[in-house]
């Protein structure tokens, strides 16, 4: 066999070839190939990238490269930063880049390096997820943003770069389910809505917390009248039980929504 190439077999008996390289005591897989020649080319390219005289840059990834793109990033980072990660991460001085493709990468604070080094980033439906204990978790939750939050409505990128997920660049606008901040005659008010065969307005409230509690109250009213939908609950951080109960009790809910809930029993 050529250097760096190992023969292997699939469960059905089909032969394929694996390429791997050892660098600074770390054994690194370079992928699987249908023929020995391509596996050998991957090994040679990996050797060239890790060479002390190598001039390969992140942006040099060639068209139709035999080496998978994520391996390209992993090897260059290992060469330049002396740290190996299984995910396509490249470390800068105060942040790191997570590459999804040659043209798409996301910026994160260095404090998140360990997390993303061990959790693969997945993009689906315009949202970014990681696999966490067998579940796909939206990374917005790391910023206190509700699941499937919408940029520009629930949060904004301060510098306008929607690929920069540094903590200082994420400003949360709406932290709670069913709550939207709007301007009314120059002042901020908060709308609470709940989705039941369309959006029902629960009410307009002076604070974000009141709107969030009103959403919880509306969800409870619907549940008590036979609605079996699993509405998410808002947790009001920093509010004790007595204050929550008092606020819950005094908040008024749309009469239209209450009438809808009462019709559920009929």
d(CA 68, CA 52): 21
- pLDDT attached to residue 147: 76
Question: What band does 86 get if pLDDT is binned at 50, 70 and 90?
Answer: very high
| 82's tokens | 């002396």
Using pLDDT thresholds of 50, 70 and 90, give the confidence band for residue 134.
Answer: confident
Q: Model confidence over 21-51: pLDDT tens digits?
A: 999 999 999 999 999 999 999 999 999 999 9
Residue among 207, 232, 238, 228 at smallest CA distance from 149: 232
Least confident of 81-85, 133-137, 214-218, 240-244: 133-137
Burial class (CB in 10 A: 0-12, 13-18, 19+), 84: middle
Of the candidates 28, 122, 113, which has an alpha carbon nearest to the alpha carbon of residue 75?
A: 28
| CB-based contacts of 153, cutoff 8 Å, min separation 6 | 173, 174, 180
pLDDT tier for residue 198 given thresholds of 50, 70 and 90: confident
pLDDT of residue 52: 77
The whole-number pLDDT of residue 184 equals 86
CATH fold of 1-67: GCC-box Binding Domain (3.30.730)
Residue 188: what are its φ and ψ, rounded to 5°?
-85, 130
Shortest CA distance to 40 belongs to which of 75, 13, 1, 73?
A: 1
Of 215, 230, 119, the closest CA to residue 174 belongs to 215
Separation of alpha carbons 37 and 243, rounded Å: 70
pLDDT at 135 over 90: no
pLDDT of res. 63:
92
In the chain, CATH 3.30.730 covers: 1-67
Choose among 67, 210, 221: nearest CA to 75.
Answer: 67
Contact criterion met (CB below 8 Å) for 94 and 151: no
Contact between 5 and 43 (Cβ < 8 Å): yes
Is the backbone of residue 208 left (phi > 0), alpha (psi -120 to 50) or beta? alpha
The mean pLDDT value for 105-127 works out to: 95
**Structure confidence at residue 132 as a pLDDT band (50, 70, 90):** confident
pLDDT tens readout for residues 57-80:
999 999 999 999 999 999 999 999
Q: Which helix (H) or strand (E) holds 182?
A: strand 179-184
């Amino acid at each position: 066999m050529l250097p760096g190439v190992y023969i292997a077999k699939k469960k059905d008996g089909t032969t394929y070839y694996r390429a791997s390289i050892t660098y600074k005591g770390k054994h690194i897989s370079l992928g699987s190939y249908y023929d020995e020649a391509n596996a050998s080319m991957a090994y040679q390219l990996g050797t060239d990238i890790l060479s002390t005289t190598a001039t390969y840059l992140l942006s040099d990834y060639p068209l139709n490269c035999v080496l998978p793109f994520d391996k390209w990033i992993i090897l260059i980072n290992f060469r330049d930063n002396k740290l190996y990660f299984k995910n396509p991460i490249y470390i800068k001085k105060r942040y790191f880049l997570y590459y999804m493709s040659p043209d798409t990468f996301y910026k994160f604070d260095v404090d998140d390096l360990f997390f993303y080094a061990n959790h693969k980033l997945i993009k689906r439906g315009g949202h970014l997820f990681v696999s966490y204990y067998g579940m796909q978790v939206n990374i917005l939750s790391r910023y206190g943003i509700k699941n499937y939050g919408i940029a520009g409505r629930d949060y904004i990128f301060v510098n306008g770069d929607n690929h920069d997920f540094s903590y200082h660049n994420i400003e949360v606008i709406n932290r709670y389910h069913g709550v939207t901040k709007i301007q009314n005659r120059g002042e901020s008010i908060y709308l609470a809505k709940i989705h039941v065969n369309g959006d029902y307005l629960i009410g307009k409230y002076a604070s974000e917390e009141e709107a969030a509690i009103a959403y919880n109250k509306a969800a409870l009213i619907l549940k008590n009248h036979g609605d079996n939908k699993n509405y998410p609950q808002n947790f009001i951080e920093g509010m004790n039980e007595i204050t929550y109960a008092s606020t819950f009790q005094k908040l008024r809910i749309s009469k239209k929504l209450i009438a809808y809930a009462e019709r559920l029993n009929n």
